[in-house]
Amino acid sequence: ARLVESGGGLVQAGGSLRLSCATSGFTLNYYGVGWFRQAPGKEREGVVGISSFDKKTYYSDFAKGRVTVSRDNAQNMLYLQMNNLKPEDTAVYYCAKGPSGAYAYNWDSLDEYDLWGQGTQVTVSS
């Protein structure tokens, strides 16, 4: 099983980016998924998660209203649309494979995810 992110880059504040995550080796529709980010010197934090149990989408407060997650189960693809980007959004962004059932604790707990991509760098200039 594997996850490969793409779509990162340099963008000016206020701009948009669409990140992609190509999945392989497992049936995407059967599992929860998440997007996380890690800025230099900071801990990895959740951006958005989708539960395979109740199909709910969970957003971090900083992501609400600016971020949209989508998935194409037929193409085994996961997407993250980010709008109105801010310099503080600068980080490496990761997609992750979650549980096949309900989250045991919280959608943004790293322990909920057992497979991670290599990450894609997003840099937002002011």
Q: Which pLDDT tens digit goes with each residue over 18-62?
A: 999 999 999 999 999 999 999 999 999 999 999 999 889 999 999
Confidence of residue 104 (pLDDT cuts 50, 70, 90): confident
pLDDT higher for 120 or 55?
120
The per-residue pLDDT of the chain, averaged, comes to 96
Q: Work out whether strand 115-116 and strand 91-97 pair parallel, antiparallel, or are unpaired.
A: antiparallel
Q: Mean pLDDT across the stretch 101-116? A: 94
Distances in Å between the Cα of 90 and the Cα atoms of 68, 123, 124 are 17, 5, 5
